[in-house]
Amino acid sequence: MTIEITTPSRLHITLIDLNASIGRVDGGIGLTIGEPGIRIKAEVVEAAEGVDGITVAGDSELTGRMRESARAILPEGCGVRIHIEQDSPSHVGLGTGTQAALAAGMAVNRLYNLSMSVRDIAIAVGRGGTSGIGVASFESGGFILDSGHKFSEKGVFKPSAASQSPPASILFQQPFPDWEIVLAIPGVVGAHDAREVDIFGKECPIPLSEVRKLSHIILMETLPSVVEGDIEAFGDSINRIQDVGFKRREIALQEPEIVQIIKRMQESTCGAGMSSFGPAVYGITDSRRAAADTMHRVQEFLDATLGGRCMVVHARNSGADVCVSP
C-alpha cells in the first residue's frame, strides 16, 4: 500500500493575547491556502532499511523534520519510506514545519492503521503548542480562530516549536470566500528556533490595552466580514491588525524591504499584512486584474532587492488530501 499526502499552507494573521492577565494566553486567527504545499508518498518497508527503520528521500530541508515525526509514531520493529515529491519553503511564515510533521505522522498512522486523529498526531510530533491554526488547516482548512491555552498550564510565552502544550481548541472555522490572495515570499528567512524564543521573551507580555484593541477588531470586523463576504471590511481589519499587539512588533523586526512590500500591497489591494514572523506578505482583493498587477509589481521589487517570488493563490476550504493506493 502507498499513501500520498498533499498538504495546504497557512497564513497566520495574528496571535491575540500575549498578555495573559485574564488567565489565557495565545489565541490566534489564520487562513488556509492551497499553495505552496507539500506532497509526499510513503510506503511500508522492512525495519532493517534506513535509520531506525525510516528512510526519507528527496532534495528538501524537510527530511530531518519528517524523519523525527515518523520516529515519534512508528511502532517498534516497523519501517517506513517517505519520498518528498514537492516541498515548501521553511521559516518564511507559512507553517511549513507543522505541515511537514503532520504529513509524515499521518503517513505512518494510515500505513499502520493506528487510528490517530490529527490532534493526536500533532501532540505526538510536538506541533501546535502556541497556535492551533496549522493543525486545523491540515485537518479541515478554511478561516480559523483558536482559543489559546490556560496560562496556568502553559506558564510562559513561547512559540509553537518550543511549547509542550497541546494544540489549542478551535472556536470558529468558516469557509473563506474565493478572493484573490497575492502572496510574496521574499528570499530571506524569518525568526525561528532560539531567535523566535528570544523575541517572545523580550516582547511579552504585550500591554493589555493593545490586546483589547486587537480583540475588538477581530470580533467586530474580521469575523463578521468573513461570514458576510465583505472584502472591504476584511481588508480594513487586516490593515488595522498590522499596527497593534504582537504583530506590530513582529513587523518592526523585519528588513525595511518587507515593510515596503506590505505598504505597496496595501495601496493596491483591499488589505495586506505579514504572516506569522514573516517574511511572507499577503494582500487580499476580489479583482483578478488588481491581483495580477500587484503580483507583477511586487515581483519586480523582489527581483531588485531580496529575491524570492510572488504568486496569486486562493483559500483552501478543506484539509490535506490523503490518497491510498494498493
Looking at residue 89, its pLDDT comes to: 94
- For residue 49, pLDDT beyond 80: no
What's the pLDDT tens digit per position in 208-232? 999 999 999 999 999 999 999 999 9
Nearest CA to 95 out of 56, 144, 55 is that of 144
- The answer to whether residues 122 and 144 belong to one domain is yes
Considering the domain architecture, whether residues 289 and 300 belong to the same structural domain is answered as yes
Query: Are 203 and 107 in a shared domain?
Result: no
The domain total for the chain is 2
What CATH number has the domain bearing residue 181?
3.30.70.890
Cα–Cα distance for residue pair 99/138, rounded to 1 Å: 7
Q: Are 184 and 281 in contact (CB under 8 A)?
A: yes
Residue 256's Cβ-count burial label (10 Å; 0-12, 13-18, 19+) is exposed
Same domain, 36 and 85: yes
pLDDT surpasses 90 at 153: no
The pLDDT score that the predictor gives to residue 47 is: 82
pLDDT at 193 over 90: no
Residue located via cell numbers 503532520: 102
Give the domain CATH number at 152. Answer: 3.30.230.10
Same structural domain, 232 and 148: no
Q: Residues 69, 197: one domain?
A: no
Region class of 73: left (phi > 0), else alpha (psi between -120 and 50), else beta = alpha
Give residue 59's Cα distance to chain centre: 22
* pLDDT number for residue 30: 98
Average pLDDT over residues 289-310: 98
Using pLDDT thresholds of 50, 70 and 90, give the confidence band for residue 72.
very high
- The beta-strand segments (E) located in 87-154 are 143-146, 149-150
The model's pLDDT over 229-272, given as tens digits with 9 standing for 90+, comes to 999 999 999 999 999 999 999 999 999 999 999 999 999 999 99
Give pLDDT, residue 160.
76
Instruction: Specify the pLDDT at position 194.
Output: 86
Task: Give yes or no: residues 25 and 156 share one domain.
Answer: yes
Query: What's the whole-number average pLDDT of the chain?
Result: 95
- Percentage of the residues of the chain whose pLDDT score is greater than 90: 88
Alpha carbon distance 326, 323 (integer Å): 10
One domain, residues 143 and 11: yes
Share of the chain above pLDDT 70, in %: 100
Whole-number pLDDT of residue 51: 73
22, 105 contact by CB (below 8 A): no
For residue 110, name the pLDDT band (cuts at 50, 70, 90).
very high
pLDDT higher than threshold 90 for residue 162: no
pLDDT, tens only, 120-143: 999 999 998 889 999 999 999 999
Q: Say what the pTM is.
A: 0.95
Task: Let me know whether 147 and 10 are in one domain.
Answer: yes
Claim to verify: residue 296 and residue 192 sit in the same structural domain? yes
- Is the confidence at residue 151, as pLDDT, over 80? yes
Q: Both 147 and 223 in a single domain? A: no
3-state SS class at 289: helix
Provide the residue range defining the domain that includes 206.
176-313
Indicate whether 225 and 183 sit together in one domain.
yes
